Amino acid sequence: MFSFSMLMLFFLFLVVFLYSIWPLFKEIKFNPSNSQDTLDALDRRKSILYREIQYIDAEYDIGNLDKDDYNLTRIELVQETSDIIAKIKLILSN
């Protein structure tokens, strides 16, 4: 009984091991490029910036930001957002 169980365990181990090394013998179509990560990062930054623009608008409405600081911050955010959109377009066009 014990040896049968050991045999089953060994068999199970073999299956699991084969499963793990299977990709070595398989054709892999997908190969991630660094541009994918860069695109993810830019996309993420873009969403943060959109949110930040909404956020400072709300902060200004509440009165938490002076007009000068609000204008300066908004210009900076809009500028950074447009730079990022340009970079995204460039990566996508390539």
Partner 1 sequence: MNPVLGSVSLSLAAGFGILSVILLLFYTRSGNYRLFLVGRRMAIIVSVLVIIATLVLVKELITSNFDIDYVAHHTSIETPTIYKFTALWAGQSGSLLFWVFILSIYSLIMIFQNRNRYHRMMPWALSVILIVQLFFLILTIFVTNPFEPTKADFIVANGLGLNPLLQNLTMAIHPPVLYLGFVGFTVPFAFTFAALMTNEKGSLWVRSVRRWSLVTWLALSSGIMLGGWWAYQELGWGGYWAWDPVENASFMPWLTGTAFLHSIIIQEKKNMLRIWNAILIMLTFALTIFGTFLTRSGVMSSVHSFTESPLGPIFLAFVAIIVTVCAILIFHSLPKLKSNKHIESLTSRESGFLFNNVVFVTMCFAVFWGTIFPVISEAVKGTKITVGPPFFNQVNIPIGLLLLMLTGVGPLLAWRRTSWSNFKKYFSIPIGLSLIAAIIFLLSGFRGYVVISLMLSVFVVVAIVTEFKRGIQARVNRFDESSFVAFRLMIRKNRSRYGGYFVHLGIVLMFIGFTGQAFNLKKEFGLGINEREHLGDINFELIQLREEERPNHFAWISELLVTGKDGKNITTLRPEKRIYFHRDPNPERRQPHSELDIYTTLKRDIYSVFSSIDTDNGIVFFQIMINPLVQFVWYGGYMLVLGTLIALWPSKREKLLT
Least separation in angstroms between residue 45's CB and partner 1 is 4
Give residues in contact with partner 1 (CB under 8 A).
2, 5, 9, 13, 16, 19-24, 26, 28, 30-32, 34, 36-37, 40-42, 44-45, 47-48, 52, 54-56, 58-59, 61-66, 69, 72-73
* Cβ proximity to partner 1, 23 vs 94, nearer residue: 23
DSSP letters, the chain, are -HHHHHHHHHHHHHHHHHHHHGGGGS-------HHHHHHHHHHHHHHHHHHHHHHHHHHHHHT-S-HHHHHHHHHHHHHHHHHHHHHHHHHHH-
Q: Cβ 65 to partner 1, closest distance in Å?
A: 6
CB 80 within 8 A of CB 49: yes
Residue nearer to partner 1 on the CB measure, 10 or 89 = 10
**Cβ 79 to partner 1 shortest distance, Å:** 14
